[in-house]
Amino acid sequence: MTDVMIYVQHLLGIGHVRRTALLVAEMRKQGLTVGVVSGGIPDEAIDFGADCVIQLPACRSADHGFSGLVDQDGKPVDDAWKDGRKNALFAAYQELSPRLLLVEMFPFGRRAFRFELLPLLERAGEDGVKRVCSVRDLLVRKKDIQKERWMRDVARSHFDRVLVHGDPAVFGFDRSFPFAADLCDMLDYTGYVAADVKRDSSVSRAGVVVSAGGGAVGADLIAAAIAARPLSAQYAKAHWDIITGPHFPADAFAGLSANLPDGIRLHRFLPDFRDRLVRADISVSQAGYNTLMDVLAAGVPSVMVPFAEGGESEQRERAEIFADKGIISLLPACQLQPETLARAMDNADFPKEFELLLDGARIGAAKIRAIIMGKDHGHLG
């Protein structure tokens, strides 16, 4: 028997994976055994750190607009694929025999996977397994309110608890989910899930770090950053490290690497990324949940260019909130040009003092352990 089975599905970026890995690490520190069931495309850069990782037949988004699902070979998924995938998920559940099932995002996202998740959640309920949703602070805005009602109804009927990885002192789940009040007895805030970054005030800052998350959608930012270097009044002579992410197209990476100006190094992945943030003069990035948490934990000046394709509102909205508080500098994607990026970097300053709960992985793991041990007495704050 496994204490916790985690279901996670990444479609484009790897933010969901990184947040899950931080939660896994804290659960294991607290003595829980954890099995991860992953439905995204396997990648050697992904390490969940779990006791067991089971890979389902993999799929990803067909494009940046999330128009559909394709399998590992790029073929649209069909009913036969879905049946095989559902069977594999149930086999994983049987193998792990969990005491608690933790589902990442669903039903507040990943609606396309209801064909396998609704039956799994029903089976877990019949078996007396606790069912917990793990969801970030902000949802992508929906045009159809019926979908949001469906989210509420599924949350109430198929889950025992919803862990929100945000800080209600900044904003609550109701900011992006209109039926949050209907779930008030189920919602439990953990604070933001951020890595433990060690700051060292004795180390002088130097250099620019540009990052594009997983790299699937960061090409415009990387191209603009390379062209912005000579235009910057402050950073034209600094060393720039540009991290494309593991999913950046190989041909594009090779083309950029062959024509890089002096002073710029291109990386697919940097294992010491967070340490470099602590030592950097400035960070330039998209505004995904995990990157923002890394930047805030490092206390580095930053310029963020939120991903906004395919109707995605979550990065932009979160970045606007933190920019209004003077914590980051915001450059909307529609304004991204080498000149505007260089100017935004030159004008960026250290974040204003702020209080933000960044211990969400430890707190979330403690809440999960309490649920398993039968010590969960309702809303825990």
- Per-residue pLDDT tens over the stretch 301-351: 999 999 877 667 888 999 999 999 999 999 999 999 999 999 999 999 998
Spatial distance between the Cα atoms of 59 and 298, rounded to a whole number of angstroms:
33
Angle at which helix 15-29 crosses helix 289-298, to 10 degrees, equals 60
Answer yes or no: same fold for 2-194+358-372 and 208-347.
yes
Residue 381 pLDDT class (50, 70, 90 cuts): very low
DSSP β-ladder status, 59-61 and 69-71: antiparallel
Between 143 and 163, whose confidence is greater? 163
Partners of residue 98 on adjacent β-strands:
2
pLDDT of residue 380: 40
Spatial distance between the Cα atoms of 272 and 315, rounded to a whole number of angstroms:
24
Spatial distance between the Cα atoms of 368 and 77, rounded to a whole number of angstroms:
34
Between 354 and 5, whose confidence is greater? 5
Give me the phi and psi of 330, to 5 degrees please: -110, 130
The residue among 330, 306, 322 whose CA lies nearest residue 354 is 322
Domains of the chain by residue range: 2-194+358-372, 208-347
**Residues of 221-247 as b/e, b for ≥16 C-beta within 10 angstroms?**
bbebbbebbebbeebeebebbbbbbbb
Is there a contact between 331 and 159 (Cβ–Cβ < 8 Å)? no
Phi/psi zone of residue 60: left (φ > 0), alpha (ψ -120 to 50 degrees), beta? beta
The architecture that CATH gives domain 208-347 is 3-Layer(aba) Sandwich (3.40)
pTM of the model: 0.88
Between 151 and 10, whose confidence is greater? 151
| Mean predicted lDDT score pLDDT of the chain | 91
Between 63 and 193, whose confidence is greater? 193
* Length, in residues, of the chain: 381
Query: Tokens 């007396």 map to which residue?
Result: 128
**Residues of 30-41 as b/e, b for ≥16 C-beta within 10 angstroms?**
eebbbbbbbbbb
User: Which CATH class for the 2-194+358-372 domain?
Assistant: alpha beta
Is there a contact between 211 and 283 (Cβ–Cβ < 8 Å)? yes
Percent of the chain with pLDDT over 90: 72
Spatial distance between the Cα atoms of 75 and 73, rounded to a whole number of angstroms:
6
Mean pLDDT of 17-26: 94
Spatial distance between the Cα atoms of 142 and 319, rounded to a whole number of angstroms:
19
